[in-house]
Amino acid sequence: MGEFEAFFHGEYPRLVRVLMLTGASLDEAMDVAQDTFIDAYSKWDMLKAPSAWVRRVAFRGFFKQRERTRRGVEIASQSLTLGLDIEQSAEQAVLGHEEEGRVSRLLDELPPTQRMVLALRFDGLSTKEISDLLGKSPEAIRKNLQLARQRLKELTKANESGRR
């Protein structure tokens, strides 16, 4: 397996997942990821930090697409899927659907920046990597993580007390 092919197989599912965590539908995430990897392939020899590069390009592509969509066309929302594994079986997908829906609804309550920072943290990026990727200070990233966690705790408590 070639170097780019190995990179693609390792990073594509992660990129789709993190795009979904930031608010993309599965179709949107897969389209943006595909376009990003096509672009990455054409620039492969010039990329010094390909993982960071594909995330940066994918986020820009997704937000440009979302802005165009927001201006003219109403889109159907799809639930976020945590733990996305492109090759997972249908049985596994069905079993996790209820929990994913609950988590998705909670994440949808976060402001976009907090949702994105939390999604990148879920994807395993450090504060410094998120800071570099989003062009924000490490302090701003830490504050957004703190606020996101605090809000999720509040939402979880409210949901639990509402079930009783």
64 vs 96 pLDDT, higher one? 64
CB–CB of 20/80 below 8 Å? yes
Task: Please indicate, yes or no, whether residues 36 and 70 belong to a single structural domain of this protein.
Answer: yes
The predicted pLDDT at position 124 comes to: 77
Query: In which region does residue 83 sit, left (phi positive, over 0), alpha (psi from -120 to 50) or beta (all else)?
Result: left
| pLDDT surpassing 80 at residue 149 | yes
Q: Which of 45, 75, 105 is the last residue of a domain?
A: 75
Residue 25 placed within a domain = yes
In angstroms, the Cα distances linking 134 to 15, 64, 67, 127 are 15, 15, 17, 11
Task: Give the chain's domain count.
Answer: 2
CB–CB of 84/14 below 8 Å? no
CB–CB of 68/32 below 8 Å? no
| pLDDT surpassing 70 at residue 14 | yes
Task: Please indicate, yes or no, whether residues 4 and 46 belong to a single structural domain of this protein.
Answer: yes
Among residues of the chain, what percentage have pLDDT more than 90? 26
